Chain A
C-alpha cells in the first residue's frame, strides 16, 4: 500500500527531548534525522506554558515556553532536521518501521534507529476515580493552558487546584492570567511541594498567592454540580471530616503518566514504577534499535532536563549507528514503596563498568532516611538522606553499578529499616 521512507534516525515527538536529540545527531554528522509529531506545530509542551522559567540550563537565558519551543524548532530547522508535524504514529510495521497518518496521507517511516520521546500527560479526574457528576469546568493543567493561551476560551470564575507541586503553580499562573480566582490548592501530603520556583513566584505574584490557601492532608472526595462544577468536597485524611469548597472550576495537576501509546503498541517492556518503557543507562529499550528519552521515561521533569537527556540519548544512538552491540540480556532494577521509581530501571552488562547517574522519586516526605541498594542478599550501597521530598527527583550515587553481578538477581532499591 505505502512505500517505506527511509531515514537514519526516526524520532517520535518534537518536544525538548526529541528536538535536542535530533539537533545533536545532525551536528554529529548523522545525514538524515526525521522528527514526527502529532500536534499541528512542533515544540512540545513548552508551547503551552506561556510563563517564564525556560532555558536557564540549556540556553543560559530565560524564555517563556513558546519562545523556548520556537528556539528549539529553529535550531532543528537550521541543523537540517526533517520536521513533520500533524503526523500521528498509528502502529509498528516491523522492529524499526512505524506507520503514520497525516493530512498528506498515510505512510511508513523506517529508521536505522528509533527514538521515542512522546512525553507525558496528567492523570485526568476519571483516572483518579474522583466520584460525582460529570459537569463542565474540570481541567488538567494541560487542557487549561490550551483553553487560555492556545484558543483564548473562557475558563470560569473561581477554581480549586488539585495538587501543590511545581505544575500546580503553573496552573495557578495560567488561572491568574485568565482572571480566575483560586480558592485553594489541595494536597494529600503534609506540605506543599512547590520547591524551587515557589519562592520567586511568590515574590512575583505575592498578592494572589498570599490569598490562596494550601490545604494539606486532604483529598478531593467528590465533585459537586451537574451542568457546571459548583464545588468540591474534600476529606481531611486524619479526621475523615468532610468539607465543601465552592468553585466553578477544578484543575487536576500533576500525577503524571507517560504518553506510552507508541511504546506499548510496539510491545516494549514497561516499567511498573515509571509506567514508561524500561531503559538502561544508554536509554536503550527492550527492543534492539529503539531508544527512549524525555518525560516518556518517568513523568514530568523540566523541559531542560528532558532536553539535556535528549542530547545524552543522541550520543548513545550515534554509538549504536556506529556498531555498538545491543545488549542481549538486561537486569531489572526495582523499587519498594515509598520509592516510586528509579532510572535507569534496567542494567545491561556493559553498563556496569562505569558509575552512572541514578535518579529516583518517593511518594511521601521522609526525614533521616537511608536508601539501600541490594542484589539478592548482597548490599551494594547505603546512602543517607536528611530529607526525601516527594514530587522531586532525587539523586543517588552511581558507584554501586560496578558491584552489580551482571547475571544475578534483580536489583532492588528501598529504604533501610
Chain B
C-alpha cells in the first residue's frame, strides 16, 4: 500500500493550486493530483483573464465574501510573486434607458459587497473615458478595482510555491475512483497507481460533481457553460483604456471587451450550456455572434487583425453560489461550482478550505519558514527581458528572440522548460512564455519552439506534435526539492 498523505487535493486549477499552496504553510504531507499534463489546464486557462472585485456578486453569498477576501490577499501576493496584472478599472456601459435605470441598484449591490469606490457616470463621461466607443451609450458605472490578470502565470506560481514548500504534484493523474479504507481515502489513478490520504479536497472544477458522487454525495450537477472568445492583435490595444463591461444578466456577465496583460484585446465570452465537459471547440455561430457584439460596442475593433480564438468551459451548477461543503465525518471538503470567478477568488477559497479542514480535525501547525518564488514576467506592463540591457549583457540568450510577435527570447524558453513546474508540452510552454501565441500563430517560430522543447526535454517531436499516440499519457510526479522540507521538519 502507498504512503498515506495528510491531504490529497484533486484538481490543479487556480483553486486547487491555491489550496495546495495554502496547506504548504503547515507541517503536512500534501499531494496535488491533476488529470492533465500541466496545472491550470481547465477553466483557469480559458476565461476573460479579469481579476474581479466582486462588485456585482449577490450580496451575502459565499462567492461575494470570498471574492472580497481574495481581492485583498491577491493585492499582497501578486506583486511578490510577479503575476502580471494591470489595474485599469471596469467601465460598465448602459446601452438602453432600461439598462441605465439598473445602474443605481448595481451601485447599491457594489456597496453591499464592500466595493465602495464604484460610481455612476454620465454618457459624456463614458465617452471621455472611451472616445472610440460606439454611439448610443446612456451612461455607465465605473469600477476602479476591476483589473487584468494573467491566468496562466497565477496557477503556476501557486503550484511552484506549493512544490517548493513540500507539496507533491502528480500530473497526468486522473482519479478514477475513491475508496474509503478505515481512516483514509484511497484514490485510484492511471496504470494501477494509487494514492492514499487522510483528508481529501475536491477541486476538480468541471468534474467536481463526479468526484462528489464517488464520495456518495449528490448535492449539485456541473453543467459546462461554454464561452468563446476572440483575441485581437496588439494594435487594437490603443482603442480602449478600460475593461468595457455590459450590464450583467442573471445568466452571464455578458460580452465584454477587455485589454489583456499581454497587450491584446479580448472580445467575449459567449454563454452556452453544453452536455460535453470536453467541448472547448469554437463554433461558427459563437464567433459570428461575437463579431456582431464587438461591432456594436467598438466598431474600430473589427478593422484589426484577429490573433486567436478559443473557448473555455465554466463549471456552472443549478445553484447560484459556490458549492463548498465540509463533510467532517468523511474528512472531505468539496469545492465545487466555482463558475467563472475561480482565478479571482482563489486565495480566499484556499484560506477558507484550510479553515474547514481544521474544523474537521486536521492539525494546522505552521512551519517556521515559507519559501516564496518570483515568476518570470510575461506581461507588457512589466519589464520583459528583451528590453533589459543588463539581462542581455548577463546572458545573450535574453537578446535572442525566437518568437518575434511576442518577443519571446531563447532565455525565457529555456527558463520555462527548466523551471520547478517545468513546461513539458507545447501548450505548457506557450502559457509560460507566450511563444507561438502572437499574431502569426507560429508562422515564424513554431518549428523552432518544437525543436527546442524536444531537444531540451529529450522528447520525440512526433509525440509533441501528437503524431504518435501515448494514450493515456504517462503520469509524472514532481517532488519537492529535498532540502527545504527536511529543514522544516527538523
- B427-476 interface with A by 8 A CB criterion: 439-444, 446-448, 450-451, 461-462, 464-467
* Complex CA–CA separation, A127 to B442 (angstroms): 12
Query: Which of A122, A150, A156, A264 is the one whose CB lies under 8 Å from B443?
Result: A122
Question: How distant is B331 from chain A, measured CB to nearest CB, in Å?
Answer: 36
A189 on interface, CB distance cutoff 8 Å: no
Taking a contact as CB atoms under 8 Å apart, the answer to whether A156 and B467 are in contact is yes
CB 8 Å contact bits of B59-102 with A (1 = contact, 0 = none): 00000000000000000000000000000000000000000000
* Complex CA–CA separation, A222 to B279 (angstroms): 14
Q: Which residues from A are CB-within-8-Å of B462?
A: 154
Taking a contact as CB atoms under 8 Å apart, the answer to whether B442 and A137 are in contact is no
* Complex CA–CA separation, A257 to B306 (angstroms): 12
Query: Which of A1, A151, A248 is the one whose CB lies under 8 Å from B451?
Result: A151
B307 on interface, CB distance cutoff 8 Å: yes
Closest to B232 in A: A127
Taking a contact as CB atoms under 8 Å apart, the answer to whether B407 and A88 are in contact is yes
CB 8 Å contact bits of A94-126 with B (1 = contact, 0 = none): 000000011111100000000000000111111
* Complex CA–CA separation, A135 to B305 (angstroms): 22
A328 on interface, CB distance cutoff 8 Å: no
Taking a contact as CB atoms under 8 Å apart, the answer to whether B465 and A126 are in contact is no
Question: How distant is B383 from chain A, measured CB to nearest CB, in Å?
Answer: 12
* Complex CA–CA separation, A101 to B383 (angstroms): 14
Question: How distant is B424 from chain A, measured CB to nearest CB, in Å?
Answer: 15
Q: Given A124-B440, A143-B446, is A106 in contact with B465 using a C-beta cutoff of 8 Å?
A: no
B393, B400, B462: most-surrounded residue (chain A CB, <10 A):
B400
Taking a contact as CB atoms under 8 Å apart, the answer to whether B392 and A143 are in contact is no
Taking a contact as CB atoms under 8 Å apart, the answer to whether B441 and A126 are in contact is yes
Query: Which of B278, B407, B439, B466 is the one whose CB lies under 8 Å from A135?
Result: B466
Taking a contact as CB atoms under 8 Å apart, the answer to whether A125 and B451 are in contact is no
B193 on interface, CB distance cutoff 8 Å: no
Q: Given A102-B399, A106-B389, is A131 in contact with B286 using a C-beta cutoff of 8 Å?
A: yes
Query: Which of B284, B401, B441, B461 is the one whose CB lies under 8 Å from A101?
Result: B401
B484 on interface, CB distance cutoff 8 Å: no
Taking a contact as CB atoms under 8 Å apart, the answer to whether B392 and A126 are in contact is no
Query: Which of B278, B407, B444 is the one whose CB lies under 8 Å from A142?
Result: B444
Q: Which residues from B are CB-within-8-Å of A90?
A: 386-387, 407
- A119-175 interface with B by 8 A CB criterion: 121-127, 129, 131-137, 139-140, 142-143, 146-147, 150-151, 153-154, 156
Question: How distant is B440 from chain A, measured CB to nearest CB, in Å?
Answer: 5
Question: How distant is A262 from chain B, measured CB to nearest CB, in Å?
Answer: 11
Count of CB-CB pairs between chains A and B under 8 Å: 131
Question: How distant is A341 from chain B, measured CB to nearest CB, in Å?
Answer: 15
Q: Which residues from B are CB-within-8-Å of A105?
A: 389, 392-393, 399
Taking a contact as CB atoms under 8 Å apart, the answer to whether A137 and B466 are in contact is yes
Closest to A144 in B: B447
Q: Which residues from B are CB-within-8-Å of A137?
A: 465-467
- A57-83 interface with B by 8 A CB criterion: none
Q: Which residues from B are CB-within-8-Å of A154?
A: 461-462, 465, 467
B310 on interface, CB distance cutoff 8 Å: yes
Q: Which residues from A are CB-within-8-Å of B303?
A: 272
B135 on interface, CB distance cutoff 8 Å: no
B280 on interface, CB distance cutoff 8 Å: yes
Taking a contact as CB atoms under 8 Å apart, the answer to whether A38 and B448 are in contact is no
Question: How distant is A99 from chain B, measured CB to nearest CB, in Å?
Answer: 9
Q: Which residues from B are CB-within-8-Å of A125?
A: 441
- B182-196 interface with A by 8 A CB criterion: none
Taking a contact as CB atoms under 8 Å apart, the answer to whether B444 and A131 are in contact is no
Taking a contact as CB atoms under 8 Å apart, the answer to whether B446 and A88 are in contact is no
B282 on interface, CB distance cutoff 8 Å: yes
- B300-324 interface with A by 8 A CB criterion: 303, 305-310
* Complex CA–CA separation, A75 to B348 (angstroms): 64
Taking a contact as CB atoms under 8 Å apart, the answer to whether A124 and B404 are in contact is no
Taking a contact as CB atoms under 8 Å apart, the answer to whether B396 and A103 are in contact is yes
B287 on interface, CB distance cutoff 8 Å: yes
Chain B interface residue count, Cβ-Cβ cutoff 8 angstroms: 50
* Complex CA–CA separation, A124 to B233 (angstroms): 13
- B252-311 interface with A by 8 A CB criterion: 278, 280-284, 286-287, 291, 303, 305-310
Q: Which residues from A are CB-within-8-Å of B389?
A: 1-2, 105-106
* Complex CA–CA separation, A142 to B441 (angstroms): 11
Query: Which of B387, B407, B447 is the one whose CB lies under 8 Å from A146?
Result: B447
Q: Which residues from B are CB-within-8-Å of A414?
A: none
Question: How distant is B478 from chain A, measured CB to nearest CB, in Å?
Answer: 23
- B203-235 interface with A by 8 A CB criterion: 230-231, 235
* Complex CA–CA separation, A135 to B466 (angstroms): 9
Taking a contact as CB atoms under 8 Å apart, the answer to whether B399 and A106 are in contact is yes
Question: How distant is A255 from chain B, measured CB to nearest CB, in Å?
Answer: 11
A330 on interface, CB distance cutoff 8 Å: no
A228 on interface, CB distance cutoff 8 Å: yes
Taking a contact as CB atoms under 8 Å apart, the answer to whether A121 and B306 are in contact is no
* Complex CA–CA separation, A400 to B281 (angstroms): 52
- B389-419 interface with A by 8 A CB criterion: 389, 392-393, 396-397, 399-401, 404-405, 407
Taking a contact as CB atoms under 8 Å apart, the answer to whether A124 and B442 are in contact is yes
Q: Which residues from A are CB-within-8-Å of B305?
A: 123, 127, 257
A322 on interface, CB distance cutoff 8 Å: no
CB 8 Å contact bits of B24-47 with A (1 = contact, 0 = none): 000000000000000000000000
Taking a contact as CB atoms under 8 Å apart, the answer to whether A140 and B450 are in contact is no
Taking a contact as CB atoms under 8 Å apart, the answer to whether B448 and A129 are in contact is no
Taking a contact as CB atoms under 8 Å apart, the answer to whether B401 and A146 are in contact is no
Q: Which residues from A are CB-within-8-Å of B287?
A: 129, 131
A226 on interface, CB distance cutoff 8 Å: yes
Taking a contact as CB atoms under 8 Å apart, the answer to whether A131 and B467 are in contact is no
* Complex CA–CA separation, A143 to B441 (angstroms): 9
Closest to B290 in A: A129
A86 on interface, CB distance cutoff 8 Å: yes
Q: Which residues from B are CB-within-8-Å of A147?
A: 446-447, 450
Assuming A136-B426, A156-B467, what are 19 further A-B pairs, CB within 8 angstroms? A38-B404, A86-B400, A90-B407, A101-B387, A101-B392, A101-B407, A103-B400, A126-B231, A126-B306, A126-B309, A127-B439, A127-B441, A131-B281, A132-B281, A137-B466, A140-B440, A142-B440, A248-B467, A261-B405
10 pairs from A and B in contact (CB 8 Å cutoff): A101-B407, A127-B439, A131-B282, A131-B283, A136-B426, A139-B446, A151-B451, A221-B284, A222-B281, A261-B405
Which B residues are closer than 8 A to A by beta carbons? 230-231, 235, 278, 280-284, 286-287, 291, 303, 305-310, 386-387, 389, 392-393, 396-397, 399-401, 404-405, 407, 426, 439-444, 446-448, 450-451, 461-462, 464-467
